[in-house]
Structure 1
């Protein structure tokens, strides 16, 4: 969990404790407040200690229970301030993969230029249906979430229409390792590599492949996307991180620049994709 996120959660907890201690009808103990809310008393102390993230309903209930209903909007604003940046997979995937894809489609529809770095998979904007299906199933197994796989695949592929609209530019950097990763069957990966090769030369798509043998200025770390140089969406195992502050965006732009110096394009990229394809069917 990021330091900024944890600090924000702890600051919210301190504010909740302050409200409990200043209840109009007298300070409440944690046990008394838990009784009013019908919660286990441990939840009160976890929220105040920044060890659990409150929901919007938790904050509204807290404000009412401590006699300060007027501060509910303030508490919700604090929650929004850090939850819009750290979107845990547990919460996002509670209703399945489809809602996450809807959020991505909305963000993509609002921008003109996307820079994507993927070190382990082919970017979603360039995926085939079968490859995307394999991805969703892998993550549904990992997180134990609802399997709305076919809906999620359809919505992800709908996003790809963006590639065929004028005025758009998708710039993808992919580490060569992603071209060999069998997170699907060899047949599905072969079709995916054909699809990827077919996008090279499109006027709205620029594909750069970083060879395994390339000299790297920085390590090939976790994936991220930059939308219109205003929003960064990065992925980690516990959460998806949305960053829109200027300093963070500038950092990721520098990382993008450093990675792109190691990439090859055009026919050189085609050759690497073809080599990966041949490795699936050795003679």
Structure 2
């Protein structure tokens, strides 16, 4: 699979297109950037940054811009373009503005919309499969980067509430993880021991198909990043800075092909549980070594 060019390029194209439309409206209105800035009581650098896609305008910026260049008829169209861009490239600082728990509640509403969920997770155990303490470790890391330490308990509770969907009739889950996911040291080993046990239990449910890609298995596609596919409607990719929501048919088709290729390299059922048991033994050995050294 090529690098994340199709996702980031599409978002950048949308951002540049919005900037170009605003620049054309300003020129059609017969104003220089300096003149528009003065009329709106903005710093001249703000107009330049918006026109060169270095700063994403707000709703109020769009409205003021259109009024300033006598193009109010373009407001609704430009707002729609802005909101589409924001949906496709949602920065974590904005998504988490309401707190970690609020973001989990938002995802719970999205979960209601789907029937078949497919996910590839090369680093983390997927949120819907996490134990409370593993989830707490993930939220603590997020809090270190973006704040919101005060609602970690609420976020854990909200994530556990989301997991109710796993037992809801008509919902199906196909999850592929790597063996590395089981052995990365991202939480205390005792927490990971319980987490792997949880995966073993979930792998036996009839509506869940869990695959594990062993270290020794050749993978024709490098596990560059994780993603979720909801039905055939939406692909969600999480990066360090943002959540990308991809809804274009070619993007969904690409990620579906990638998922199916990765699923073919994974072990399932008894073989997957054997890998989970192997991980349990490795983690238990780590705990023994630590105990002996203390």
Matches within 5 A, 1:18-37: 18-23=24-29, 27-37=30-40
Contact (CA 8 Å) 2:193, 2:284: kept in 1 or not?
Answer: no
Q: How does 1:130-209 map to 2 (within 5 A)?
A: 130-142=133-145, 144-147=146-149, 148-209=151-212
Greater fraction helix: 2
Instruction: Tell which deviates more after alignment, 98-107 or 257-266.
Output: 98-107
| Structure 2 counterparts to residues 83-162 of structure 1, below 5 A | 83-142=86-145, 144-147=146-149, 148-162=151-165
Distance in 2 (alpha carbons) for counterparts of 1:264 and 1:3: 34
Say which SS state the counterpart of residue 173 (structure 1) adopts.
strand
In structure 1, C-alpha distance between the alignment counterparts of 2:267 and 2:105, rounded to whole Å: 32
- Structure 2 CA distance for aligned equivalents of residues 35 and 151 of structure 1: 46
1:223 deviates by 0.4
* Gaps in structure 2 of 5+ consecutive residues: 1-6, 289-294
- Taking structure 1 as reference, are residues 95 and 37 closer, same or farther at Cα in structure 2, changes over 3 Å only? farther
Q: Counterparts of 1:28 and 1:145 in 2: how far apart (Å)?
A: 42
27-36 or 80-89, larger mean C-alpha shift: 27-36
Distance between the aligned counterparts of 1:207 and 1:77, measured in 2? 39
C-alpha deviation, 1:58, in angstroms: 1.7
> What TM-score, normalized to structure 2?
0.89
Conserved? CA contact 2:117–2:172, under 8 Å: yes
Secondary structure at the aligned position of 2:173 is classed as strand
- C-alpha change, 1:208 and 1:96, in structure 2 (3 Å) is same
Give the gaps of 5 or more residues in structure 1.
none
In structure 1, C-alpha distance between the alignment counterparts of 2:45 and 2:163, rounded to whole Å: 46
Distance in 2, Cα, partners of 1:177 & 1:28? 57
C-alpha distance after superposition, 1:157-182 (max 9, x if no partner): 22111111111111110101010112
Output the CA distance in 2 between the equivalents of 1:253 and 1:48.
Answer: 36
1:46 is matched with 49
Relative to structure 2, which stretch is displaced further, 258-267 or 48-57? 48-57
Residue of structure 1 equivalent to 2:14: 8
Instruction: Indicate conservation of the 8 Å contact 1:94/1:145, yes or no.
Output: no
